Amino acid sequence: MSATEPQGASNGTAMAAVLAAGIGSFAVGFFVILSESGVFAAPALYGPAGGVSGRTAFAAVAWLIAWFAAHRRWRDRQVDGGKVLTATLVLIALGLLLTFPPVWGIF
């Protein structure tokens, strides 16, 4: 994810949003694993939904922090979209994998 000085229009802000989406997706899976292993108990923010409401709220906060940090760093730069997209897809896949019950037993 190398960033260079802009040559024409910069794509850093868009790439920051893309990468933050991957980080937010991974955060959902990460908080599920922490919750299922008993390390972290997310509060139920909405009773009928249970702990999933707290886990997704924490993941949303992680997404916003990642977006803010990446946006500030890349806002005036040209970023390699291929590398960012690859990293994002890997993070989404890992986040999805961590939400499946058979994976919880590994941890």
The CA-based angle 49-57-34, given to 5 degrees, is: 85
Distance CA 72, CA 16 (A): 9
pLDDT value of position 8:
64
User: Residue 54 belongs to what H/E stretch?
Assistant: helix 51-74
Cα 21 from chain centre: 5
Distance CA 81, CA 91 (A): 15
pLDDT value of position 46:
84
Alpha-carbon separation of residue 41 from 17, 27, 37 (angstroms): 28, 15, 9
Beta bridge partners of residue 79, listed in sequence order: 3
Q: What is the mean pLDDT of residues 42-71?
A: 90
Name the pTM for this structure: 0.84
41, pLDDT greater than 70: yes
> Whose structure tokens read 């024409």?
8
pLDDT in tens, 27-38: 999 999 998 888
The tokens for 63 are 């997404």
Residue 77 vs residue 6, higher pLDDT: 77
55, pLDDT greater than 60: yes
pLDDT value of position 75:
92
Distance CA 4, CA 78 (A): 6
